Amino acid sequence: MKLTLHEIAQAVGAKNDIGIYKDAAVHAIEFDSRKIETGDLFLPLKGERDGHDFIPMAFENGAVATFSEKTIDLPHLLVDDCLLAFQKLAQYYLTKMRVDVIAVTGSNGKTTTKDMIASVLATTYKTYKTQGNYNNEIGLPYTVLHMPDDSEKIVLEMGQDHLGDIALLSRLAHPHIAIVTLIGEAHLEFFGSREKIAEGKMQITEGMDSDGILIAPADKIINAYLPDNQKVIRFGPNEEIFMTELTETKDSLHFKTNFLNTEIHLPLPGRYNATNAMIASYVGKLSAVSEKHIKEALAHLDLTGNRTEWKKAANGADILSDVYNANPTAMRLILKTFSTIPRNKSGQKIAVLADMKELGEKELEWHGAIVDSLDPDQIDRVILFGPLMKALAAEVAKRYPQGKWQYFETLDQLDIMTECIKEELGKNDQILLKGSHSMHLNKVVESLEKYS
């Protein structure tokens, strides 16, 4: 970081005089006192514990100063609200560094699309991106304040749990290009309807300038929330940007677009990933990245882990792992992809599906409806896991013969289910695992990779 304590104090409106410490350079800002190194500024946040309790530890580890909501006998910046000061500082830093901001949100695909955009832009510009899932009111400013000081582009993922979350992040980041990938059913428990989810996602335009560009799907549910003062680019069949000649194999996608003269090759399955790559290609084109570099970047992707990814079981079986999160739209999409992939010779196709969380009062109905994406002629066996999957189990029982499906209801049956999968998994089989992160299917994947 290129900031002194004095500059930080001015940016956040600190209420005290930092005196002899004003010219001290701040190397980084951390809210975990264990990560503090010499020259860092500590941010004490309030959670299960009050971060102010860890201020002494932060100084033991080398902190040059700390934010504080009360006067203390250590170098500090006195503020009314540490989190608000943190956000103000990130907003100031983005303006100071004159970096171009690209923001991405959506019910599905936002992390993958963020990674793809960053890969494309990095061929031509110094580019930084949201690390992991740091996409909320703490994670986004943390990302901003940790970007290298020579950054020219920053790609920020924006998540929401409640209405207004993305409006706050947009006003903080002031994106020039904003992307909405898809409106699905994520966090229905908090929003109640897709319309409310759409309203929240479309608040990504709240902080955009009048010359900003919004890229959004051709979904009529968002039409009521389209901005009047920004350029809007819609994607989808017969829209302003679209794909042509899309072909899919087990582990790759190939397609053309109406705005590039080259074919894109993507080392990922899932037609939804072709849409994500098309969006990334268009952002590259808007940013004057050459078609050659766009193609090369997408052909050699480095994606955040636990998204759609082929892995190998220790016995040779193919694992399609998609265990980071789940909602009905995402589950239907991955089941469609899995269903259309050709079987291995003499192998079975097995779907392991776990609970989808935060779907609200209709959660059992949403789970049961997944049966429409399960065809015994395309997916041979179904294994269901979690109390909410009881609704889908009742529907699967009507469609699959006994012995072709199993149901494990309680979370403490994870190990039992894993052993049953191992016993039945053949070396030529293909197995899909999909569920919310809290269902721990990643442990099943890891176990399958290691057993012999």
pLDDT tens per residue across span 261-319: 999 999 988 888 999 999 999 999 999 999 999 999 999 987 776 568 889 999 999 99
**Residues 354, 359, 360: CA angle, nearest 5 degrees:** 135
Type of residue found at 233: I
- Asked if residue 91 belongs to a domain, the reply is no
Pairing of strands 349-354, 309-312: unpaired
- Asked if residue 304 belongs to a domain, the reply is no
Helices (H), 208-265: none
Domain count, the chain: 3
Q: Are residues 225 and 266 in the same domain?
A: yes
Domain hosting 374: range is 309-450
**Rounded to whole angstroms, what are the CA distances from 360 to 221, 367, 390, 421?**
20, 11, 16, 30
> In the structure encoding, which two tokens stand for residue 79, read together?
């503020």
- Asked if residue 92 belongs to a domain, the reply is no
- This prediction has a pTM of 0.85
If we measure between CA atoms, which residue out of 218, 97, 105 comes closest to residue 153?
Answer: 97
CA distance 433 to 384: 10
305 is in an annotated binding site: no
What pLDDT shows up at residue 108?
A: 84
112 is in an annotated binding site: yes
Q: Are residues 62 and 139 in the same domain?
A: no
Q: Are residues 289 and 314 in the same domain?
A: no
- Asked if residue 337 belongs to a domain, the reply is yes
Looking at 279, 299, 319, the residue that finishes a domain is 299
CA distance 230 to 155: 19
Residue identified by tokens 């100031």 is 92
Q: Are residues 237 and 319 in the same domain?
A: no
CA distance 68 to 82: 7
CA distance 110 to 334: 16
If we measure between CA atoms, which residue out of 114, 108, 159, 106 comes closest to residue 136?
Answer: 159
**Rounded to whole angstroms, what are the CA distances from 420 to 202, 230, 425, 443?**
44, 54, 9, 14
Contact between 244 and 255 under an 8 Å Cβ cutoff? The reply is: yes
Residues of the chain with pLDDT under 50: none
CA distance 235 to 106: 14
Contact between 309 and 442 under an 8 Å Cβ cutoff? The reply is: no
Q: Are residues 320 and 433 in the same domain?
A: yes
What pLDDT shows up at residue 396?
A: 97
Type of residue found at 264: I
From the number of C-beta atoms within 10 Å of its C-beta (0-12, 13-18, 19+), residue 49 rates as exposed
223 is in an annotated binding site: no
252 is in an annotated binding site: no
What pLDDT shows up at residue 52?
A: 96
295 is in an annotated binding site: no
